[in-house]
Amino acid sequence: MTISAQDVEVAESDSISSADDSLDEDIESISMDSASVKSYTTLSLPIDSLSDSLVVAVYRSGWDSARVNPYRFPIDSIRDSFVVDCRGFYPPNINVVTSECGERWGRFHAGTDMRLTIGDTIRAAFDGKVRVTRSNASKKKGYGYFVMIQHANGLETLYAHLSKVLVKNNQNVKAGEPIGLGGNTGRSTGPHLHFEFRFLGNPINTRNLLEITADTMYMKADTYTITKKGSFKEFYAFLHSPAKYHKVRSGDCLGKIARRYHTTVKQLCRLNHIKPTTTLRIGRKLRVR
């Protein structure tokens, strides 16, 4: 099968929102019972090696196998001083980049897409601990089958649209260890890897840290310093872009729409002069930003 970059880009336009949708279904089935509270306090990642106690605290309080971003940590609260140790990186997949991190048709594309052949081995980028896996998601939605790993250097990495997941939640993995097989699951029309870096839940353009070509992928330096405006430039611009609207669809609710657009129910109510209890008519246009 041959694909064009355009195919993948079109497919990806819905990826983030749909991924949030499929994850949200899981979130709603998880309550803060004693078992989940306990799991928050038993994280065994070697977080002592993180150099910033706030980062350690956020990750420790947010260990959650249901959500890609359980932290909801605002970019403006991130200090411009956290240094990521980039040593020990292993390329998850090497191939032509077909789509970059940035805004796509009003949604945010949080990763870099790279072409692959179905069944290609996808490898962990750094040593770490698997936080989220999904291999029972609707194959047509969002990220499809995916793996997310938390690393001791403060980054989390996400590998989406896999055909097979080879690891389990809470499993420790080594850099270069196979974690999945490349695929075309989720909202994707051509086989590719969607690869993300996140810091406290916020997506960093992989290009900030990585040199990526069709046949190489390597870290630009041994360390990378996180800065609010630099590291999250694309996401920051997206969050601060002009007014945007969402057309209500069947199954939408304010919470779901808020998550999709990285906002809050309170903010949606303020922008649209409605109450949290207001019934959403299908077809109605809601201002989301």
Q: Least distance from C-beta 195 to Zn ion, angstroms?
A: 8
Looking at residues 94 to 133 of the shown chain, list those that interact with Zn ion (rule: CB under 5 A): 111, 113
Looking at residues 185 to 214 of the shown chain, list those that interact with Zn ion (rule: CB under 5 A): 194
Which of residues 62 and 144 has its CB atom nearest to Zn ion in the complex?
144
Does the footprint of Zn ion cover residue 234 (CB under 5 A)? no
Residues 4-23, one symbol each (x = binds Zn ion by CB under 5 A, - = not), give --------x-----------
* Total interface residues for Zn ion by CB under 5 A: 4
Q: Least distance from C-beta 112 to Zn ion, angstroms?
A: 7
Q: Least distance from C-beta 144 to Zn ion, angstroms?
A: 11
Which residue of the chain is nearest Zn ion when measured via CB?
194
Residues 140-179, one symbol each (x = binds Zn ion by CB under 5 A, - = not), give ----------------------------------------
Please state the three-class secondary structure of the chain as a single string. CCCCHHHHHHHHCCHHHHHHHHHHHHHCCCCCCHHHHHHHCCCCCCHHHCCCHHHHHHHHHCCCCCCCCCCCCCHHHCCCCCEEECCCCCCCCCCCEEECCEEECCEEECCEEEECCCCCEEECCCCEEEEEEECCCCCCCCCCEEEEEECCCCEEEEEEEECEECCCCCCEECCCCEEEECCCCCCCCCCEEEEEEEECCEEECHHHHEEECCCCEEECCCEEECCHHHHCHHHHHHHCCCCCEEECCCCCCHHHHHHHCCCCHHHHHHHHCCCCCCCCCCCCEEECC
Which of residues 70 and 142 has its CB atom nearest to Zn ion in the complex?
142
Binding site for Zn ion (CB under 5 A): 12, 111, 113, 194
